[in-house]
Structure 1
Amino acid sequence: MSFTSLFSKSLPTFIAACAFSFSSLASAGADTETDSNDVILAGHDAVAYFTENKPVLGSAEYTATYNDAIYRFSSAKNRDLFSANPTKYAPQYGGFCAYGTTFGKKFEIDGKAFEVVDGKLFVNKNVSVYEAWKKDVPTHISQANKEWPAIENVESSEL
């Protein structure tokens, strides 16, 4: 077999391998709290926080991608609502803990502690952290809004 023949047969495999390698590098950035599969909100349905006022686990069957994060939904209807207006449903501070953001920190969340305030979704690390956050929501949102620009693009491990 000649080099040219070997090269022409190997080239498609090489290109596919390179494409796969580079696609795995395209993941959610430092500004978004996702798991190792780039799923945000610990897999909870972003729309359900607004429509059902409770955390509802989404399904891998109904997904949408926004800001390099994968959102899961409990229904096609919720996925479609999100896709039509993702900024309406996406969590503040990239889905990091709202209370932690007030201290210039980025903490993972469990998806169960949340509040919708003035049409915006705020999530917290867990229910006990949420209890501290809700004692003065307006002040905590103001503090987090001041801190977020400085930490948004910094890896959580560097804070």
Structure 2
Amino acid sequence: MKKSLFALALLATTAACGGAAEAPATEGETVAATEASAETGLYADLGGDPTGPVYRETKGDTLAVSGYDVVSYFTGDGVPVEGAEDITVRYEGYDYRFANEENANTFIEDPAKFAPAYGGYCAWALGANDALAPGDPNVYEIVDGTLYLNFNEDVQGRWQADIPGFIESADVNYPTHSPDEHYQDS
């Protein structure tokens, strides 16, 4: 019963993270994307189509990683900080916020490097159960230069028991999920 309730809760709150790596934008592409974004109110719009599900709190929302600055995980003391609404970069149809322009520009140079694996969905849920569960931006780990989120600290403990195995499984499972799968019944 307890296992079933956990599974139902996990499925009910499913979320995903990651995306295929892309070649970094050239200087001309970055300038063009920045100029085009002035019309949309974004700091920059890098374009691109979703390559998989990205966790958002509600259907139709485009805010990735609950508004946290994904570059902040990799810089300074490695403590994630929330991004500012006026420093938003759209990448593959989703909005990433940044605490400052320097972090936004770092992201623009190589967004695939900083976007969380599996679209911000829980790495353990995808690896262990092939399920989309929300990733908590405050429960994370960087492994081999990739940001992975987990549902909560308890789940992160399970994930840490076999990180390479869960990553291997999640790498196979994640591409089988469609961008709006999590919200089909919403």
TM-score using structure 1 length:
0.75
Determine if contact 1:111/1:126 at 8 Å carries over to the other structure: no
How far apart, in 1, do the equivalents of 2:157 and 2:74 lie?
19
How far apart, in 1, do the equivalents of 2:178 and 2:119 lie?
8
SS in 2 for 1:88: helix
Structure 2: runs of 5+ lacking an equivalent = 1-48
Aligned partner letter, 1:31: P
Deviation at 1:93, TM superposition (A): 0.8
Determine if contact 2:136/2:151 at 8 Å carries over to the other structure: yes
Indicate which of 114, 119, 131 corresponds to 1:89: 114
Question: Would you say 1:35 and 2:63 are equivalent positions?
Answer: no
List structure 1 segments (4+ residues) > 3 angstroms apart after TM superposition: 27-30
How far apart, in 2, do the equivalents of 1:54 and 1:99 lie?
21
SS in 2 for 1:71: strand
Structure 1: runs of 5+ lacking an equivalent = 1-26
Question: Would you say 1:104 and 2:126 are equivalent positions?
Answer: no
How far apart, in 2, do the equivalents of 1:154 and 1:140 lie?
23
How far apart, in 1, do the equivalents of 2:178 and 2:143 lie?
21
The total of aligned residue pairs comes to 133
Question: Higher relative contact order by CA 8 Å / sep ≥ 6: 1 or 2?
Answer: 2
Determine if contact 2:52/2:175 at 8 Å carries over to the other structure: no
Residue matched to 1:133: 159
SS in 1 for 2:88: strand
Q: 1:135 to 1:148 in 2, by over 3 A?
A: same
Deviation at 1:35, TM superposition (A): 2.9
Determine if contact 1:112/1:127 at 8 Å carries over to the other structure: no
Residue matched to 2:36: none
Identity %: 31
Deviation at 1:58, TM superposition (A): 1.1
TM-score using structure 2 length:
0.65
CA RMSD of aligned residues (A): 2.3
Determine if contact 2:69/2:96 at 8 Å carries over to the other structure: yes
Residue matched to 2:102: 77
Deviation at 1:30, TM superposition (A): 6.0
Question: Would you say 1:57 and 2:82 are equivalent positions?
Answer: yes
Determine if contact 1:34/1:69 at 8 Å carries over to the other structure: no
